[in-house]
């Protein structure tokens, strides 16, 4: 259909309206108005709650937070002046998080690769996914009790302390870390699986088309593509581990000080019991034995900072991945 | 609505030594006007200008691949029906046809990529240098019959590594950079990309423009010195300027390779193809030199398709 260009430009029939008629909230239906207000209100109130937590913990925590309280070891003393700080709890948190994520990441990534890239027979792949969902949905206290029952078996004696008479204690950084990995595993698995599923099929075919085997494709093409996803999942999982209390209480002993077991330096530390910031907060809160709320607030504030930092790390990794990874072409494709 | 024509005319036996059409490419092919509920009439349509042929006459080399009665099934559906074709070195074979006619399936069968689809099944033989491709190791076959895809798909690594990835054998010991570097540079040069990326071979390949990415994919594919290069609509995701660059590149590359290109773009098939194969619903309807297929097609179906009666 040919359009003949007119000699003079078309003139609007009336001057354009500056504002659309229906733009005002007044003209909306009542239900829409209520929903609109509720959406705003819920978003804002969540912001307020988050801010309230951070501000409250900051105010309470910063009062008592000092260089001394962070870097001095807890001491057994009824007097608050003499009971030291929570350096051991910080070390315990870091150590437990590292052990947990170091166990969880390889297993989760390998499982995700199997499910997405192999996944035959399909009923088995579905079973694996359901299994991980069950682990993800299991309360941490249940995982902790299960872990205690498991690691008190004689076969796991090298992982922890054996009392006189041969009773295996079952509580150590290694056993707690092993069960903590179950907390982080679904996060890493989910993120890796999403990443693998969003790699377009033609990228895999391009690698096969160059005469590469499946395993070479996975190692050299797919794993680099999903590296940002793995990092995101790992950071999320670390946040979960750092914030978990039940497993620390049941499987790590939730002691105030880290007690190495045996005389070998590194191994003794791993086989020994200890505590984390979460158990320190619990023990020192009015609910616990210490009844030193000032120190509990200070430790809680440090823990909050650690978890918030991990969350920002997740965002940063995701943004960097979007810039350099396959994400950029995925959007374009 | 397209009337069925007699089957005898459509399934003209495929011969590649058919005499060249007396009609030149200047004369447009007759086109049926399609009128609903009216008998088809053949009339000379308006001239369809397919552009300038860029492919210059060149003596065709030896036959690299031979397809014998090749059929591909997806489940019970037959996607490619008993196709027999020669693929010669030094020429570009353009596969044309409407969507879903089996041309991409045919292309992917040539380096056994269809085997990745669980339901796909193949009958008939494909020979590469007179050797059945089923007797070759699939990784070796794919190194000798390389493929370029519709979407530019560099891997998330540096430009250098993208090409080196194709070169490195899957041996226990990977060849070092000193061995691989000249080969990478050579491949990038042949793909016409080296001058643009000479200084940033270590940059991520995904930062390149779409056309550059596709030329990188071509460099990656030709790095192992394959005998046949398969291209699945290599320009359909690119702008006209990048398309022109790639078409010129195809013209250069065909000296050393046999190239099979699938395209939806008739003008492109006309510009770059030395031979054209027209497929319809899995059948190879017509195969011949480009001038003949575009100038004097033998089958009515080809006439209609080339004239633009359906697509």
Residues 6+ away with beta carbon under 8 Å from A138: A182
**Distances, alpha carbon A94 to alpha carbons A98, A242, A278, in Å:** 6, 8, 12
pLDDT at residue number B16: 44
Q: Is residue A110 in a domain?
A: yes
Q: Which of A212, A221, A328 sits opposite B139 (nearest CB)?
A: A212
Model confidence at A134: pLDDT above 60 = yes
Instruction: Supply the DSSP string of A285-322, one letter for each residue.
Output: STTSSS--HHHHHHHHHHHHHHHHHHHHHHHHHHHHHH
Each residue's pLDDT tens digit, A77-133: 767 777 778 888 999 999 999 999 999 999 999 999 999 999 889 999 999 999 999
The arithmetic mean of pLDDT across residues A303-327, rounded, is: 76
Q: Which SS3 state, helix, strand or coil, does residue A34 take?
A: helix
Indicate the range of A198-202, B21-25, B170-174 predicted with least confidence.
Answer: B21-25
Q: Is residue B3 in a domain?
A: no
Q: A322 or A243: whose pLDDT is higher?
A: A243
Residue that has been written with the tokens 């003139």 in this structure: A11
Q: A166 or A48: whose pLDDT is higher?
A: A48
Strands B63-74 and B120-128: antiparallel
Residue that has been written with the tokens 């309807």 in this structure: B285
User: Which residues constitute the domain of residue A299?
Assistant: 83-327
Say how many residues make up chain A. Answer: 333
pLDDT at residue number B224: 87
Distance of CA B122 to the CA centre of its chain: 20
| Maximum mean pLDDT: which of A22-26, A141-145, B255-259 | A141-145
Report the residue of chain A nearest B153, measured CA to CA. A203
Report the first-to-last Cα separation within chain A, whole angstroms.
33
Instruction: Give the rounded percent of residues in chain B with a pLDDT score beyond 90.
Output: 22
Q: Is residue B89 in a domain?
A: yes
Q: A327 or B163: whose pLDDT is higher?
A: B163
**Confidence band of A149 (pLDDT split at 50, 70, 90):** very high
Model confidence at B228: pLDDT above 80 = yes
Q: Is residue B6 in a domain?
A: no
pLDDT at residue number B13: 45
Strands B92-96 and B275-280: parallel
**Sign of the CA dihedral A26, A29, A30, A32?**
negative
The arithmetic mean of pLDDT across residues B92-109, rounded, is: 90
Model pTM?
0.77
The arithmetic mean of pLDDT across residues A36-62, rounded, is: 93
CA distance B80 to B71: 5
Q: Is residue B44 in a domain?
A: no
Indicate the range of A230-234, B19-23, B52-56, B271-275 predicted with least confidence.
Answer: B19-23
Judge whether B214 and A329 are in contact, CB under 8 Å: no
Q: Is residue B26 in a domain?
A: no
Q: Which of A209, A216, A220 sits opposite B146 (nearest CB)?
A: A209
Of the residues A210, A320, A333, the best mutation for testing chain B's interface (the one with the most B CB atoms within 10 Å of its CB) is A210
Residues 6+ away with beta carbon under 8 Å from B135: none
> Touching check for B165 and chain A: CB below 8 Å?
yes
Please judge whether A205 and B116 are an interchain contact, meaning their C-beta atoms are less than 8 angstroms apart: yes
**What total of structural domains would you count in chain B?**
1
Q: Is residue A175 in a domain?
A: yes
Model confidence at B291: pLDDT above 50 = yes
CA angle at A61 for the pair A57 and A67, rounded to the nearest 5°: 145
The arithmetic mean of pLDDT across residues A17-40, rounded, is: 80
**Confidence band of B116 (pLDDT split at 50, 70, 90):** confident
Model confidence at B4: pLDDT above 50 = no
| Maximum mean pLDDT: which of A111-120, A253-262, B251-260 | A111-120
pLDDT at residue number B63: 86
Judge whether A240 and A161 are in contact, CB under 8 Å: no
CA distance B156 to B206: 7
Model confidence at A51: pLDDT above 90 = yes
pLDDT at residue number B7: 41
The arithmetic mean of pLDDT across residues A11-39, rounded, is: 77
Q: Is the ipTM of this complex over 0.90?
A: no
Q: What average pLDDT does chain B have?
A: 81
Q: Which of A206, A211, A220 sits opposite B153 (nearest CB)?
A: A206
Model confidence at B196: pLDDT above 60 = yes
Structure tokens at A166: 């041969």
pLDDT at residue number B5: 42
**Confidence band of A150 (pLDDT split at 50, 70, 90):** very high
pLDDT at residue number A83: 74
**What total of structural domains would you count in chain A?**
1
**Confidence band of A322 (pLDDT split at 50, 70, 90):** low
Q: A4 or A209: whose pLDDT is higher?
A: A209
Instruction: Give the rounded percent of residues in chain A with a pLDDT score beyond 90.
Output: 39
Residues 6+ away with beta carbon under 8 Å from B235: B214, B242, B243, B246, B247, B263, B265, B268
Q: What is the CA radius of gyration of chain B?
A: 20
For A257, how many CA atoms within 13 A lie in the half-sphere containing its CB? 11
The arithmetic mean of pLDDT across residues B294-307, rounded, is: 84
Burial status of residue B186 (CB atoms within 10 A of its CB: 0-12, 13-18, 19 or more)? middle
pLDDT at residue number B9: 42
Supply φ then ψ for residue B259, to 5 degrees. Answer: -120, 130
Q: Is residue A17 in a domain?
A: no
Q: Which SS3 state, helix, strand or coil, does residue B245 take?
A: helix
> Touching check for A220 and chain B: CB below 8 Å?
yes
CA distance B294 to A4: 35
Please judge whether B155 and A211 are an interchain contact, meaning their C-beta atoms are less than 8 angstroms apart: no
pLDDT at residue number A21: 61
State the nearest Cα–Cα gap between A210 and chain B, in angstroms.
5
CA distance B20 to A293: 97
Of the residues B156, B208, B217, B222, the best mutation for testing chain A's interface (the one with the most A CB atoms within 10 Å of its CB) is B156
Each residue's pLDDT tens digit, A199-250: 998 899 999 988 888 998 998 889 988 988 998 899 999 999 999 999 999 9
Q: Annotate A197-241 with three-state secondary structure.
A: HCCCHHHHHHHHHCCCCHHHHHHHHHHHHHHHHHHHHHHHHHHHH
The arithmetic mean of pLDDT across residues B195-208, rounded, is: 89
Q: Is residue B300 in a domain?
A: yes
Of the residues A196, A200, A211, the best mutation for testing chain B's interface (the one with the most B CB atoms within 10 Å of its CB) is A211
Q: What is the CA radius of gyration of chain A?
A: 27
Instruction: Supply the DSSP string of B112-127, one letter for each residue.
Output: T-GGGSTTEEEEEEEE
Q: Is residue A316 in a domain?
A: yes
> Touching check for A198 and chain B: CB below 8 Å?
no
The arithmetic mean of pLDDT across residues B108-136, rounded, is: 89
Helix (DSSP H) and strand (DSSP E) numbers for chain B: 11, 12
Residues 190-219 of B with CB under 8 A from A: 204, 206, 210, 217
State the nearest Cα–Cα gap between A207 and chain B, in angstroms.
8
Judge whether B241 and B263 are in contact, CB under 8 Å: no
Residue B279 carries which DSSP code?
Answer: E
User: Which residues constitute the domain of residue B258?
Assistant: 63-307
Q: Which of A200, A216, A324 sits opposite B204 (nearest CB)?
A: A324
Question: For the domain that residue B80 is a member of, what is the CATH number?
Answer: 3.40.50.300
Q: B172 or A20: whose pLDDT is higher?
A: A20
CA distance B227 to B248: 19
Question: For the domain that residue A129 is a member of, what is the CATH number?
Answer: 1.10.3720.10
Q: What average pLDDT does chain A have?
A: 85
> Which H/E stretch holds residue B250?
helix B240-253
Please judge whether A221 and B155 are an interchain contact, meaning their C-beta atoms are less than 8 angstroms apart: yes
**Distances, alpha carbon B261 to alpha carbons B143, B249, B301, in Å:** 17, 13, 21
For B270, how many CA atoms within 13 A lie in the half-sphere containing its CB? 18
Q: Is residue A283 in a domain?
A: yes
Please judge whether A210 and B143 are an interchain contact, meaning their C-beta atoms are less than 8 angstroms apart: yes
Residue that has been written with the tokens 């993120």 in this structure: A191
Judge whether B55 and B272 are in contact, CB under 8 Å: yes
């Amino acid at each position: 259909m040919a359009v003949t260009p007119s000699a003079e430009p078309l003139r609007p029939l009336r001057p354009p309206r500056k504002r659309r008629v229906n733009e005002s909230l007044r003209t909306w239906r009542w239900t829409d108005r209520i929903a609109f207000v509720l959406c705003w209100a819920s978003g804002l109130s969540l912001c307020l709650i988050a801010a309230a937590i951070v501000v409250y913990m900051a105010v309470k925590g910063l009062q008592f937070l000092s260089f001394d309280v962070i870097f001095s070891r807890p001491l057994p003393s009824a007097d608050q002046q003499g009971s030291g700080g929570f350096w051991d709890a910080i070390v315990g948190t870091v150590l437990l998080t590292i052990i947990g994520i170091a166990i969880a990441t390889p297993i989760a990534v390998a499982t995700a690769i199997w499910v997405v890239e192999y996944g035959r027979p399909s009923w088995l792949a579905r079973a694996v996914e359901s299994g991980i969902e069950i682990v993800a949905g299991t309360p941490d206290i249940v995982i902790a009790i299960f872990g205690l029952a498991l690691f008190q078996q004689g076969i796991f004696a090298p992982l922890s302390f054996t009392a006189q008479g041969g009773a295996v204690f079952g509580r150590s950084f290694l056993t707690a870390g092993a069960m903590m990995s179950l907390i982080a595993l679904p996060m890493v698995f989910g993120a890796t699986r999403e990443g693998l599923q969003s790699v377009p099929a033609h990228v895999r075919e391009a690698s096969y088309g160059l005469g590469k085997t499946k395993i070479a494709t996975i190692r050299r093409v797919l794993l680099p593509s999903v590296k940002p996803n793995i990092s995101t999942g790992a950071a999320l999982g670390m946040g979960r581990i750092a914030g978990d209390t039940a497993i620390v209480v049941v499987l790590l002993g939730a002691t105030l000080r880290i007690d190495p077991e045996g005389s070998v330096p590194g191994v003794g530390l791993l086989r020994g019991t200890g505590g984390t910031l979460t158990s320190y907060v619990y023990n020192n809160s009015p609910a616990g034995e210490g009844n030193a709320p000032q120190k509990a607030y200070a430790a809680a504030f440090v823990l909050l900072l650690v978890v918030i930092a991990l969350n920002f790390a997740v965002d940063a990794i995701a943004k960097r991945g979007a810039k350099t990874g396959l994400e950029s072409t995925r959007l374009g494709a | 609505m397209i009337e069925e024509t007699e089957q005898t005319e459509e399934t003209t036996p495929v011969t590649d030594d058919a005499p060249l059409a007396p009609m030149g490419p200047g004369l447009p092919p007759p086109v049926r006007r399609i009128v609903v509920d009216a008998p088809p009439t053949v009339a000379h349509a308006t001239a369809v200008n397919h552009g300038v042929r860029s492919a210059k006459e060149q003596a065709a080399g030896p036959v690299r691949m031979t397809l014998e009665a090749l059929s591909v099934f997806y489940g019970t559906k037959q996607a490619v029906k008993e196709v027999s074709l020669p693929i010669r070195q030094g020429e570009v074979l353009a596969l044309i046809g409407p969507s879903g006619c089996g041309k991409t399936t045919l292309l992917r069968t040539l380096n056994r990529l269809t085997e990745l689809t669980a339901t796909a099944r193949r009958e008939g033989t494909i020979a590469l240098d007179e050797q059945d491709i089923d007797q070759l190791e699939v990784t070796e076959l794919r190194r000798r019959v390389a493929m370029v895809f519709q979407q530019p798909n560099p891997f998330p690594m540096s430009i250098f590594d993208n090409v080196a990835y194709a070169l490195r054998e899957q041996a226990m010991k990977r060849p070092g950079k000193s061995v691989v570097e000249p080969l990478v540079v050579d491949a990038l040069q042949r793909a016409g990309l080296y001058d643009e990326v000479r200084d940033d071979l270590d940059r991520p390949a995904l930062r390149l423009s779409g056309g550059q990415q596709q030329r990188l994919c071509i460099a990656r594919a030709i790095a192992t010195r394959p005998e046949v290069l398969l291209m699945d609509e290599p320009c359909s995701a690119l702008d006209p300027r990048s398309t022109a660059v790639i078409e010129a590149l195809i013209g250069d590359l065909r000296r050393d390779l046999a190239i099979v290109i699938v395209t939806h773009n008739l003008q492109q098939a006309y510009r770059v193809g030395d031979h054209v194969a027209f497929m319809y619903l899995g059948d190879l309807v017509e195969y011949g030199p480009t001038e003949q297929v575009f100038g004097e097609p033998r089958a009515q179906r080809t006439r209609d398709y080339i004239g633009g009666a359906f697509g």
